Every structure is written in structure tokens, then in C-alpha cells.
Amino acid sequence: VNHMLAINPEMQSELLRRASLLAALGHANAAIADYEKVLELNDDMNLQQEIRDRLRELQSKSEHLH
């Protein structure tokens, strides 16, 4: 994943994949950054809503940990 993003840092599919992996590993802040980058790049309303839902979930989990 990181190799592909080194070649093309705006590759949305790889950003989403990395965000999902980071979230699963408990790295909420890094996952949030990748999801927010996809929101900047993407104009698909359905995908944007899905990402916003994931962001809310991650932010909620992150708040409970602190």
C-alpha cells in the first residue's frame, strides 16, 4: 500500500485501503488523515457519506480512549 502511495499519493483506492488497515490496527489519527485526504479528492457523494460515517466512528473511539 505505501509503495503505491509513494508513486501516486492521491490514489484513492490505496488511501482507503491504508486507512482501513490503520483503523484496524488502532492507529485512528493516521486513518482519519487518510480518510480526510480521500474526502478532499473524491466527488462521489455516496463514498463521501460512507467516509464521513467512518470518520465519526473513529473519532468517537478515539475520544473514548483519551
- Answer for the pair 5, 14: CB distance below 8 angstroms, yes or no: yes
Task: Calculate the CA 59 to chain-centre distance.
Answer: 12
pLDDT at residue number 16: 96
- Per DSSP, the three-state class of 23 is helix
Determine the Cα–Cα distance for residues 53 and 62; give it in Å rounded to an integer.
Answer: 14
For residue range 33-58, what is the model confidence (pLDDT) as tens digits? 999 999 999 999 999 999 999 999 99
Answer with the residue of higher pLDDT: 6 or 22: 22
Does the predicted model carry a pTM greater than 0.75? yes
Cα–Cα distance for residue pair 42/8, rounded to 1 Å: 15
